[in-house]
Amino acid sequence: MSKLDKKQAILDTALTLFVSQGFYATSTASIAKQAGVATGTLFHHFPSKDELMNHLFLNIKQEFADAILASIKDSGDLKKDAKHLWTSAIQWAMDNPLKQEFFQQYSMSPSISTEIREQAMNSILGFMGALMQKGQALGLLANYPLTLMQDNSHGQFLAATRFFLDNPEKWQDPQHQEASFLLFWNAMVQS
Amino acid sequence: MSKLDKKQAILDTALTLFVSQGFYATSTASIAKQAGVATGTLFHHFPSKDELMNHLFLNIKQEFADAILASIKDSGDLKKDAKHLWTSAIQWAMDNPLKQEFFQQYSMSPSISTEIREQAMNSILGFMGALMQKGQALGLLANYPLTLMQDNSHGQFLAATRFFLDNPEKWQDPQHQEASFLLFWNAMVQS
Amino acid sequence: MSKLDKKQAILDTALTLFVSQGFYATSTASIAKQAGVATGTLFHHFPSKDELMNHLFLNIKQEFADAILASIKDSGDLKKDAKHLWTSAIQWAMDNPLKQEFFQQYSMSPSISTEIREQAMNSILGFMGALMQKGQALGLLANYPLTLMQDNSHGQFLAATRFFLDNPEKWQDPQHQEASFLLFWNAMVQS
Amino acid sequence: MSKLDKKQAILDTALTLFVSQGFYATSTASIAKQAGVATGTLFHHFPSKDELMNHLFLNIKQEFADAILASIKDSGDLKKDAKHLWTSAIQWAMDNPLKQEFFQQYSMSPSISTEIREQAMNSILGFMGALMQKGQALGLLANYPLTLMQDNSHGQFLAATRFFLDNPEKWQDPQHQEASFLLFWNAMVQS
DNA sequence: AATGAATGAGCGTTCATTCAT
DNA sequence: CATGAATGAACGCTCATTCAT
């Protein structure tokens, strides 16, 4: 096993165990053991358990952001673009259930330092913010305060991914998929 | 200090510390010390740290449910009733910021046993579910799958309370208050 | 329940629990609870857990000594008298299995203070000592050192009661009963 | 201090303290401290205090069994062989007073799990059992039930070692040594 | 870089004992 | 005399972290 393999094995194992047992219930010794390395090795790659957690969090956030960024389109039809974005985001969650679960569990937990958490939130909500401002400028979306709309959308996204993660077969159902998007979109529409 | 005072002091201190430091970072010794009782006293009233947590959770959930239940009206105007419900719920959160914070942190955390958590969720989401079914029957709300709508509303509620808790002065602003309700209501209306 | 009843209930419960769970694994709270009294009541009757234990030990030892004393005969036939004594002693153990078990467990354990233990041993072994000296004077028993013979007899008695307590049906068998006595008696006879 | 040294230091210290203070009155912290290691080190080598105890018990039982096994002879003269066995067993106890004391205290105590205790008893009493059956076949020993004889011999052995451990100078006295054996042997002899 | 034995502060919990009622 | 809530020292044990190899 090469160096990179060991570091990656530690990260992979940590993700699995943090999600299934929780951060505090997972000992560094158990991560090392299940990753097939010595306890000391974990601390060669990460200065502390907290740093391992933050590293993991930033890694996953970046993966998600990259996936979303790659799926952004500008077709001229804002609603269509928004639907594409919404669907891509949930699809990523369905494709990466462990990572999404990790996000759900730790994006609001004190196990992750505040600055890291906020940094992650901003970068993701940034996409949505830009889209919303565009919609407002076009008169498609209501002129609600932007930060309120952003937080609301984030809450809807967390609820939607939790729902579909718990009921994966429903994500295959076009009615559910469509309803999920409309709940998100109509909330903001100029009525 | 009377008997009840000591038990209550433990519960109050535990609430404060669990919210500010997290469950695992809060030692039973620190709860006892700050509550002004001996370590043994905590275990005289609660068989374990976990049971103390569950007790706290059920207590707060019941308080919230009682507050919501007391504010339910049936005026014949569903949208008006819904707004009253929505406003009351957020108002309770604004009046009890510590308890709302506790809810945000622990309603999805493994620190609370699954059955206790689900029991709490169901009792609260039950109100919303009934209201939604009524709205669908009247043709006011879209015929989206009920469970999806419920989870979506819950997500919006968590987002709204977090937003107003972080920006309490905005809850005084009628525009924000109105926008918050419309985001919730319009998401579900029949378009 | 009268005062004496409560004190006796505590002693009875302590005997049962000390035998079945051991001294250290039995909490004073559990004794009080099972005896149907408050925790404080135990400490009204006995100044400490250790004193309760010593009290129990002396009580039982006295009961045993009384039973043996009552069964001593002087028929002129030493072997017959010895057999009667031996049989009576084991019979008492069979009739009071809990108390005998208590004896087996604690007569050598540090849970009971040394002086109390020695005091108990001497009073019981005294009977045997007198009998042995008589036998030696008559030329029936070998002139082995008296203390060695006493300790040997005690060891045989403990072994015999343990055996018959574990196999109570064999105590009904005359062959076993006779063999048990002969092992004891022949060990000491002048060969 | 090497690794093995530390583990051995823990075992040695535990033996001394368990014998002098008892199992429950000896804290793991005191064992570690007196052994010159950290508390965690004890638990690095033994998963729990109970396991440390069982380990100790099995170690000592094995040592004793090995010593006895090495001293077994088959000279054709059964009584002579028996005396050799008896003397060797007591000699081991005199040479290892701490370990013998440990045996006396714990071979019947609930601090050691039942299966471990029985396993130890059987392996030791096995020697005696074989010797007795041989004696019965030769018509030298009485036809008492074998298990009763075994238990009886065990009781005599415990009594003899206790006696000589408490009075070590008497083990030097040929009269005491001879008497001790005759008490054991004559008990079983065909009369 | 990798190892894993060693560390010791800190944890949740127990329980003999006290004392106000 | 009886009660049981309260006490706090002490327990067995865990685990993030260090460091000699």
Per-residue pLDDT averaged across A170-177, rounded?
Answer: 97
In angstroms, the Cα distances linking C140 to A114, B60, B79, C79 are 93, 85, 110, 9
Q: Which of A182-191, B100-109, C169-178 is the least confident region?
A: B100-109
The answer to whether the CB of A45 falls within 8 A of the CB of A32 is: no
Positions of chain E reached by protein Cβ under 7 A: 1-20
> D106 CA to chain C: closest CA distance, Å?
9
List pLDDT tens digits, range C122-171: 777 777 888 899 999 999 999 999 999 999 999 999 999 999 999 999 99
Q: Is the pLDDT of residue C4 over 80?
A: no
At a CB cut-off of 8 Å and minimum separation 6, what does B54 contact? Answer: B112, B113, B116
Mean pLDDT of chain C: 91
C–D interface: beta-carbon pairs under 8 A: 121
Please state which CATH number belongs to domain C49-188. Answer: 1.10.357.10
Strand partners, D189: D141
pLDDT band at A1 (very low <50, low <70, confident <90, very high): low
Percent of all residues in chain D with a pLDDT value above 90, rounded to a whole number: 73
**What one-character-per-residue DSSP string does C56-112 give?**
HHHHHHHHHHHHHHHH----S-HHHHHHHHHHHHHHHHHH-HHHHHHHHHHTTSTTS
| Averaged pLDDT, C169-191 | 96
Tokens of D11: 């075992």
Residue C67 has pLDDT above 80, yes or no: yes
**Per-residue pLDDT at D4:** 66
User: Do the beta carbons of residue A45 and residue A106 sit within 8 Å?
Assistant: no
> What's the confidence (pLDDT) of residue B148?
95
Q: In chain A, which residue ranges form alpha helices assigned H by DSSP? A: 3-21, 28-35, 39-45, 49-71, 78-95, 97-106, 114-137, 146-166, 174-188
pLDDT tens-place string over residues D89-115: 999 999 999 999 998 888 877 778 778
How long is the CA A15 to C1' E9 vector, in angstroms? Answer: 28
Which tokens in the block code for residue A24? 């505090």
Q: For B4-21, what is each residue's pLDDT tens digit? A: 689 999 999 999 999 999
The rounded percent of chain A whose pLDDT value lies above 90 is 74
| Contact list, D145 vs chain C (CB under 8 Å) | 170, 175-176, 179
Chain A contacts of B22, Cβ < 8 Å? 109-111
pLDDT band for D116, please (50, 70, 90 cuts).
confident
Mean pLDDT of B69-86: 90
Average confidence score pLDDT of chain A: 91
The gap from C-alpha A32 to its chain's centroid, in whole angstroms, comes to: 26
* Residue B79 touches chain A, beta carbons under 8 Å: no
Which H helix or E strand runs over C20? helix C3-21
Search chain D and give the residue with CA nearest C186: D187
B39 touches strand F (CB under 7 A): yes
| Gap between the Cα atoms of B160 and B117, Å rounded | 21
D189 class by beta-carbon count within 10 Å (0-12 exposed, 13-18 middle, 19+ buried): middle
Confidence of residue D35 (pLDDT cuts 50, 70, 90): very high
Report the CATH number of the A50-188 domain.
1.10.357.10
CA distance A74 to A90: 19
> What are the b/e assignments for A38-59, b being 16+ CB within 10 Å?
eeebbeebbeebeebbbbbbee
Contact between D182 and C189 under an 8 Å Cβ cutoff? The reply is no
Closest residue to C180, CB basis, from D148, D156, D167: D148
* Residue of C101, C183, C184, C189 to mutate when probing chain D, most D C-beta within 10 A: C183
Contact A75, A81 (CB under 8 A): yes
Return the closest nucleotide (C1') to the Cα of B51.
E12
Structure tokens at C100: 């005998």
Burial class of C136 by CB neighbour count within 10 A (0 to 12, 13 to 18, 19+): middle
For the cut 80, the answer to whether the pLDDT of residue D44 exceeds it is yes
| Matching residue, tokens 């695992």 | B24
pLDDT computed for residue B2 by the predictor: 59
| Whether D88 contacts D67, CB under 8 Å | yes
Mark yes or no for CB contact D108/C111 under 8 Å.
no
Residue B77 has pLDDT above 60, yes or no: yes
Domain boundaries of chain C, sorted by first residue = 1-46, 49-188
Q: Which nucleotide is nearest to C29 (CA to C1')?
A: E15
pLDDT tens digits for range A151-165? 999 999 999 999 999
- Tell me the C-alpha distance between A185 and C68, whole Å: 95
Please indicate if any CB of chain A lies within 8 Å of the CB of B191: yes
pLDDT at residue B23 tops 80:
yes
Nearest to B180 among A104, A108, A148 (CB): A148
Contact flag, residue B43 CB and nucleic strand F, below 7 A: yes
Q: If you measure CA to CA, which chain B residue comes closest to A145?
A: B176
Task: Quickly count: other Cβ atoms within 10 Å of residue D144's Cβ.
Answer: 21
Nearest C-alpha neighbor of D154 from the set D89, D61, D62: D89
Whether the predicted pLDDT of B76 surpasses 90: no
> What letter represents residue B105's amino acid?
Q
Least confident of B113-127, C23-37, C39-53, C139-153: B113-127
Residue pointed to by tokens 């759900």: A104
- Does pLDDT of A127 surpass 90? no
Mean pLDDT, residues B22-37: 96
Tell me what pLDDT residue D129 has. Answer: 85
Q: Give the pLDDT score at B1.
A: 54
DSSP state of D26: S
Q: What is the mean pLDDT of the segment spanning B16-33? A: 96
Contact A163 B175 (CB under 8 A): no
Contact C165, C93 (CB under 8 A): yes
User: Mean pLDDT across the stretch C60-68?
Assistant: 89
pLDDT band with cut points at 50, 70 and 90 for residue D185: very high
Distance CA C105, CA C23 (A): 10
Residues 47-66 of chain D in contact with strand F via CB under 7 angstroms: 47-50
A4-18, B147-161, D126-140: least confidently modelled range? D126-140
User: Comparing C-alpha atoms, which of D47, D65, D54 is closest to residue D14?
Assistant: D54
DSSP structure class, residue D62: H
Q: F20 C1' – A63 CA distance, angstroms?
A: 40
Angle at A155 between CA A149 and CA A159, to 5 degrees: 145
For A54-109, what is each residue's pLDDT tens digit?
A: 999 999 988 998 998 888 888 889 999 999 999 999 999 999 999 999 988 888 78
Measure B49 CA to nearest chain A CA, in Å: 15
Q: Which fold has domain B1-46?
A: Arc Repressor Mutant, subunit A (1.10.10)
Asked if A123 and B157 touch (Cβ cutoff 8 Å), the reply is no
Residue B3 is predicted with a pLDDT of 59
**Does the CB of B7 fall within 7 Å of any strand F atom?**
yes
- Residue closest to B52 by CA, chosen among B3, B116, B98, B101: B116
